A = this chain, B = another copy of it.
Amino acid sequence: MKKILNEVDQAVEQMVEGLVKTHRDLIYRVAGTRVIARNDKRPGKVGLVSGGGSGHEPAHAGYVGKGMLSAAVCGDVFTSPTPDQILEGIKAADQGNGVLLIVKNYTGDVMNFEMAAELAEAEDIRVASVLVNDDIAVEDSSFTTGRRGVAGTVFVHKIVGAAAEAGASLEELQALGEKVVASVKSIGAALSAGTVPEVGHRGFELLEDEIEVGVGIHGEPGSSREKVMTSHELANLLFARINAELILGADNNIVVLINGMGATPLMEQYIFANDVHKIIAAHGIPIVKTIVGDFMTSLDMNGLSLTILKLTDEKWLDMLDYPVVTSAWK
């Protein structure tokens, strides 16, 4: 394993320090915790908290800031943060009108965020949560009952973040988040797995002519192992899987997110974007916005995911374009 690291067991600690030193104009670290919170508070605004295992950078700390998250809780690599850490995140986000938790659907996260919510309620902080399960690749997986939460989570952060900034209530934000979750589907593919620093070798091995279709963001098994295919064939395959769920047509405005998994050159992401556009255009489905880049990674995994958001509410587009001040969302 060759990595830019010091002590492997200090990777997350030192990353959090690096994040805070780099973006001190936007965020701070809650002392004694691995919670990243935004500098500017506004009494009365509903707080938004997300997080989970580290290794998915820029998720989630990169989305902390005006217009998106109030706080992100950074667990160990691919490991849910503990309830007490999440509780600290909730406290940092609380501005008197409740806190919404945006949780990716993994058993550990679900359990720990739930426990943290109970602890917060005991301290008189109102808490609600939204569970994101946009990954259509498989039902149930290594760490999940039901479907996994992956890159679609950032659409929830962004849209709910805009509504929170505009003054929506906790109940409104929860309902909005659930509506977005119902409209967003993702599926990924890996050319190679990521390497957890403390493990020291890739999470799984693929032959030189194999790709893992439907891979999870922790390297969980996908739905099939396929022979290497062209970008266009891969785009066809992933889009067909998503379209089987969303059943898109000419009257559905959609937003497309092409997400690099950490080690995927931007050149290849744009080539894939070109293919996705060609395929969707051939279906006559209008793409109103496309986003390309690394948003929800898996350490140094080489691969990408395709996410499609069906705009069941046209206002969501404005909310996606609502200006934010974060390190990772432009």
Interface residues of A (CB under 8 A from B): 2-6, 11-12, 14-15, 17-19, 21-23, 54-55, 57-58, 62, 191-192, 194, 208-209, 211, 228, 230-232, 234, 262-275, 277, 290-292, 294, 297, 299-300, 302, 304, 327, 330
* Nearest CB of chain B from residue A51's CB, rounded to whole Å: 15
Given contacts A262-B265, A327-B330, contact A211 B271 (CB under 8 A): no
Assuming the contacts A57-B266, A262-B266, A265-B297, asked whether A290 and B4 have C-beta atoms less than 8 A apart, the reply is: no
Q: Would you give the shortest CB distance from A31 to chain B, in whole angstroms?
A: 17
Contact of A231 among B5, B265, B271 (CB under 8 A): B5
Q: Which of B15, B192, B273, B330 contacts A270 (CB 8 A)?
A: B15
Q: Which of B3, B230, B274 contacts A15 (CB 8 A)?
A: B274
Task: Name A2's contact: one of B17, B21, B270, B302 (CB within 8 Å).
Answer: B302
In the bound complex, residues from chain B placing their C-beta under 8 Å from that of A297 are 265-266
Write out the residue numbers on chain B whose beta carbons fall within 8 Å of the beta carbon of A300: 263-265, 302
- Residues A232 and B6 in contact in the complex (CB < 8 Å), given A15-B274, A272-B18, A273-B21: yes
One of B14, B263, B265, B268 near A271 (C-beta < 8 A):
B14
Which 6 A-B pairs rank lowest in CB-CB distance, beginning with the nearest?
Answer: A18-B274, A18-B270, A57-B266, A263-B263, A18-B273, A4-B268
A17 to B264 Cα, complex, angstroms: 18
Shortest C-beta distance, A108 to chain B (Å), equals 19
Q: Are B2 and A271 in contact (CB under 8 A)?
A: no
A218 shortest CB reach to chain B, Å = 14
How distant is the Cα of A22 from the Cα of B267 in the complex, in angstroms?
13
Q: Is the CB of B192 within 8 A of A2?
A: yes
How close is A199's CB to chain B, nearest CB, in angstroms? 14
Q: Which of B6, B228, B232 contacts A230 (CB 8 A)?
A: B6
